Structure 1
Amino acid sequence: MFLSIKKIPVVDWSSKETFNFKPKASTFSYLCFGLMLFGFGEALLVVSTTGNSPWTVLAEGASIITGLSIGVATFFISVAVLSLWFFLKQKPGLGTIMNIIIISVMLDVTISSLVSPSSLISQYFLAILGVFLVGLGSGFYLTANLGPGPRDGLMTGLTKKTNLPIALVRGCIEITAVGVGWYLGGTVGVGTLIYAFGIGPCVALGLFIVDKIFN
């Protein structure tokens, strides 16, 4: 049922305007909660040691080269991606800014607080749980309707500029992030594949859960 979802649900606490910098308290709270879940899920993939999501592969590679933490590297990469919006005539929203801050913080807090499990079963459990939480977090954050994350905005901006299919544009962006990150030493593995194949259904499930339970 949830796999048939084709648009972002509108719920009671969704912002009526995307570029709303004074949202309702409930809208802002759900936005932040969703981004915390998102960052926590991304961090669980790192802790699982089975392979990171594409952009965290890049962040880990950057952290190895620079000596920065993965969270701080994620922050600077997000800011760099956001700077490209100027050339693509994209406008950031409150959700865009909070995305950069909260996910970066959650990555560092979670990674520094948890120990990687020694059991292979536990590692893959963390990876699967991480992808699910990223999807659920996306459900909250997207439904808040306060602006896309830096990478989503890059995707939509490039799609408008090139007139190429969104799937092709996003695929090229993700492959580039993985390729550069892997070259720099980021972790690519089964967890990366779990994320690649699981994130779509998990985001759809997250949107379904938000719409049916939290509306």
Structure 2
Amino acid sequence: MLTRRLVALYVGLWLYGTSMAVMIRAGLGLDPWDVFHQGVAGHVPLSFGMVTALTGVVVLLAWIPLRQRPGLGTISNVVVIGVAVDVGLWLIPAAEQLWLRVLAMIVAVVVNAAATVLYIGAGMGPGPRDGLMTGLVARTGWSVWTIRTGIETSVLITGWLLGGSVGIGTVVYAFGIGPLIQLMIPYLDGRLPGFEPTTRPEPVPA
């Protein structure tokens, strides 16, 4: 049903942005794209969410020569995640104790995986970064692994050089997000009425 898909899309996107805010407050390192967003945000008079949204817009422009077509989910991804992360940062205080920071990091990665399954499972268009990856794969003929690794390594290094937070959280996200998504697919995707089963979602932020 369309209504269920829309609910899953927007709940998933909001949870995705919220999980980003929790990861930032944990202060133990971010995923590659958020390292980049944080690095840029440290040099411009814009909020983290605004930098995230504007990065999404720039990435969408790269879709033009790749002949990718955005969907409702693509545009919503840019807007909703940017707003959600700023709201989350406004509401969620920074964790102080180490155990609380570790717990927040783990919760953020788990929620991020669930959010990814929900919004991609809604089948209403990939996020800007997902589309960039699939478009480059289609145009170059290179493997998904090669393209994804190249993109995320590039943004990670750039973000780190700009002052973005790299740490144990970055490693936990890199190695934990894929297995978690695979584990959650039967519970959050295929079992939701009106959903098409998602066999290989690509966990890329906004």
Q: Same fold (TM over 0.5)?
A: yes
Give the 3-state SS of the residue equivalent to 2:93 in structure 1.
coil
Match of 1:86 in 2: 64
Q: Deviations over 1:28-57 (max 9, x none)?
A: 111101111111111111110001111111
Does 2:39 align with 1:58? Answer: no
Q: Aligned residue pairs: how many?
A: 193
Report the CA distance between 1:26 and its aligned residue.
2.1
Match status 1:28 vs 2:15: no
* Corresponding residue of 2:112: 134
Shift of 1:205: 2.5
Residue aligning to 1:177: 155
Q: Which moved more, 1:199-208 or 1:177-186?
A: 199-208
Pairing of 1:147-186 with structure 2 (within 5 A): 147-186=125-164
Deviation of 1:113 (Å) = 1.1
Gaps of 5+ in 1: 1-12, 14-23
Distance 1:101 1:205 in 2: 28
Q: For residue 67 of structure 1, report the CA deviation from its aligned partner.
A: 2.1
Q: Which amino acid aligns with 1:158?
A: L
SS of the aligned residue for 1:179 comes to: helix
How big is the shift at 1:206?
A: 2.9
Please give the alpha-carbon distance, in whole angstroms, between the structure 2 residues aligned to 1:80 and 1:207: 30
Aligned equivalent of 1:39, options 17, 27, 30: 17
Judge conservation of contact 1:137–1:206 (CA < 8 Å) in 2: no
Matched, 1:97 2:75: yes
Q: Any stretches of 5+ residues in structure 2 without a counterpart?
A: 194-206
- 1:90-147 superposed Cα distances (whole Å, 9 cap, x missing partner): 0000000111111111111101111111111111111111111111011111111001
Q: Is the 8 A contact 1:135 1:203 kept in 2?
A: yes
TM-score by length of 1: 0.86
- Residue 212 of structure 1 deviates from its aligned partner by 5.8
Match of 1:204 in 2: 182
In the alignment, the residues of structure 2 paired with residue 123 and residue 201 of structure 1 have an alpha-carbon distance, to the nearest angstrom, of 22
**Cα RMSD for the two superposed structures:** 1.2
